[in-house]
Amino acid sequence: MKHLLAAAVLTLVASTASAETYKLTMASSHPTVLPWVGKLSTLVVAQSNSRLEAMGSADRIEWTEAYGGSLYGFKDTLEAVGDGLTDAGWVGTLWEGSKMPLQNITYFTPFVSDDLVATLKIMNEMHRELPQLKEAWEDQNVVFLGASGVETYHLFTNFPVNSLKDLEGRKILAPGSSANWIKPLGAVPVNGALPTYYNQIQTGVADGVVVIVTGAFPNKLYEVAPYVTLVGLGAQMTGGLGINKDVWDGLSDDVRTVLTELGQEYTVEHAEEVMARYQAFLEKLPGVGATVSQLPESEIEAWAAGLPNLAGDWAEANASKGAGEVLKSYMAKARDAGLAPRIDWSER
């Protein structure tokens, strides 16, 4: 009996001695009102310790949270995590075209799918299967845990759009790679960002914008661009949840297991919330004075057919990084998932 009691005490002491409490910071350049930031707090931070307890682990995480740009701005998300300004947080890969071009594949493959949940699940699968995607993060001293994104893009303009010809010569806000979506239509791409769109349209700098509804509605773009034309240029990966690699390597297996699982759930849960908001805002647009119409199917098909080989050019420019394999994998997974892309970019 004494031997059993002693063994139990030794086991308890060993268990207690091996328990670790990790002090980690979760941060973002954007506020928690955005789904891909809010879920960092309400899912990853909120559930990490309960998950550890449920799996029988004595390890715990003591979180410090810093959102809304309190630690760094939107242009510094990658460096903030990689350099250790924060231990973990949201990284915006859409601003990292030179450092992480492979993560921007969706912006060079429009008209694949409007299904954000399915698109991001595919991106997560590809990160698990293709070493070059995982390594793109680790080269920046970051470990990827789960993709984030936004819903499909549509047109908000101050003039009605019934056909592609209506866009000829018009100045349309389309920053970055999205400019390539409208150039073939004869439209003039104008640079800008969501906080500047309203003023740019109001002052005549632009006649409209290619934009997501979840960004346009809260910023009241319908006041200056009341014609909303549904096109469906495709859902996009914009970044993801990452954690500093040095920090990651110092965590226990239990903590890494829990954070890996939560990272995958983060992708699905925030994408579902984005899509719910998208539908809600779409339904509210007529009530605030917007005229919502669907671009005719024949015009959408003509738009898709008239695009240059954006994906092929992107793959060629990033061939040394393995972009060709990434493109083939993305299109194959989109077809296998039944997403019925309007363009098979791997065949152009």
The string of pLDDT tens digits covering residues 200-244 is: 999 999 999 999 999 999 999 999 999 999 999 999 999 999 999
Cα separation, 241 vs 144, in Å, equals 6
pLDDT score, position 144: 98
In the prediction, which pLDDT does 18 show?
79
Mean pLDDT value of segment 42-71? 98
Q: How many domains does the chain have?
A: 2
Total residue count of the chain as it appears in this document: 348
Could you give the CA distance from residue 112 to residue 339 in angstroms, rounded to a whole number? 7
169 band by pLDDT with thresholds 50, 70 and 90:
very high
Please indicate, yes or no, whether residues 330 and 186 belong to a single structural domain of this protein: yes
What is the domain range of residue 130?
20-99+114-149+236-277
Question: According to the model, what pLDDT value does residue 348 have?
Answer: 86
- Separation between Cα atoms, residue 225 and residue 290, nearest integer Å: 8
Residues 261 and 311 in one domain: no
Shared-domain flag, residues 78 and 161: no
One-letter amino acid of 148: S
In a domain, 132, yes or no: yes
Angle among Cα 140, 143, 147 to the nearest 5 degrees reads 105
Over residues 187-197, the mean pLDDT reads: 95
The answer to whether residue 4 is domain-embedded is no
Q: Is the pLDDT confidence value at 306 over 80?
A: yes
- Both tokens of residue 134? 């995982």
Report the candidate in 128, 96, 106, 101 with the shortest Cα–Cα distance to residue 330. 106
User: Beta-strand (E) ranges in 56-165?
Assistant: 60-66, 88-91, 142-150, 153-157
Amino acid identity for residue 199 in this structure: N
Residues 170, 314, single domain; the answer is yes
Domain assignment of residue 305, yes or no: yes
What pLDDT shows up at residue 3?
A: 44
Pick 336 or 348 by higher pLDDT.
336
Query: Is the pLDDT reported for residue 5 higher than 50?
Result: no
Average pLDDT over residues 120-144: 98
83 and 195 assigned to the same domain: no
Of 343, 310, 294, nearest to 101 (Cα)?
310
Q: Is 253 within the bounds of a domain?
A: yes
Query: Based on the domain organization, do 222 and 158 belong to the same domain?
Result: yes
Distance CA 235, CA 112 (A): 8
The single residue listed with the structure tokens 């990966």 is 237
Cα gap 194→201, rounded to integer Å: 11
88-91 vs 188-190, strand pairing mode = unpaired
Amino acid at position 237, single letter: M
* Residue ending a domain, choose from 250, 277, 304: 277
Domain CATH number, residue 68? 3.40.190.170
Least confident segment among 1-10, 121-130, 222-231? 1-10
> CA 198 to CA 179: how far, in whole Å?
18
Examine the pLDDT at 111 and tell me if it is beyond 80: yes
Which residues does residue 307 pair with via DSSP β-bridges, in sequence order?
none
Same domain flag for 142 and 38: yes
Is 225 inside any structural domain? yes
Does residue 9 lie within any of the structural domains? Answer: no
202 and 331 assigned to the same domain: yes
Which residues have CB under 8 Å from 273's CB, separation 6+?
35, 38, 39
Strand 236-244 to strand 153-157: parallel, antiparallel, or no bridges (unpaired)?
A: unpaired
Q: Does the pLDDT value for residue 8 go beyond 70?
A: no
> Do 270 and 161 belong together in one domain?
no
Same domain? 178 vs 128:
no
Separation of alpha carbons 154 and 156, rounded Å:
7
pLDDT (tens digit, 9 = 90+) per residue, 9-33? 333 444 444 799 999 999 999 999 9
Q: Residue 212: inside a domain, yes or no? A: yes
CA distances from 247 to 76, 142, 318 (A): 19, 9, 30
Residues 77 and 142 occupy one common structural domain: yes
End-to-end CA distance of the chain: 76
Residue ending a domain, among 221, 246, 277, is 277
Which conformational region is residue 206 in: left (phi greater than 0), alpha (psi within -120 to 50 degrees), or beta? beta
Considering the domain boundaries, does residue 105 fall inside one? Answer: no
Same domain assignment for residues 158 and 212: yes
pLDDT beyond 50 at 341: yes
Distance CA 341, CA 304 (A): 10
- Give the three-class secondary structure for 279: helix
Q: In this structure, what token pair is assigned to residue 169?
A: 């010569």
Q: What is the largest CA-CA distance in the chain?
A: 90
Kindly report, residue by residue over 276-305, the tens digit of the pLDDT: 999 999 999 999 999 999 999 999 999 999
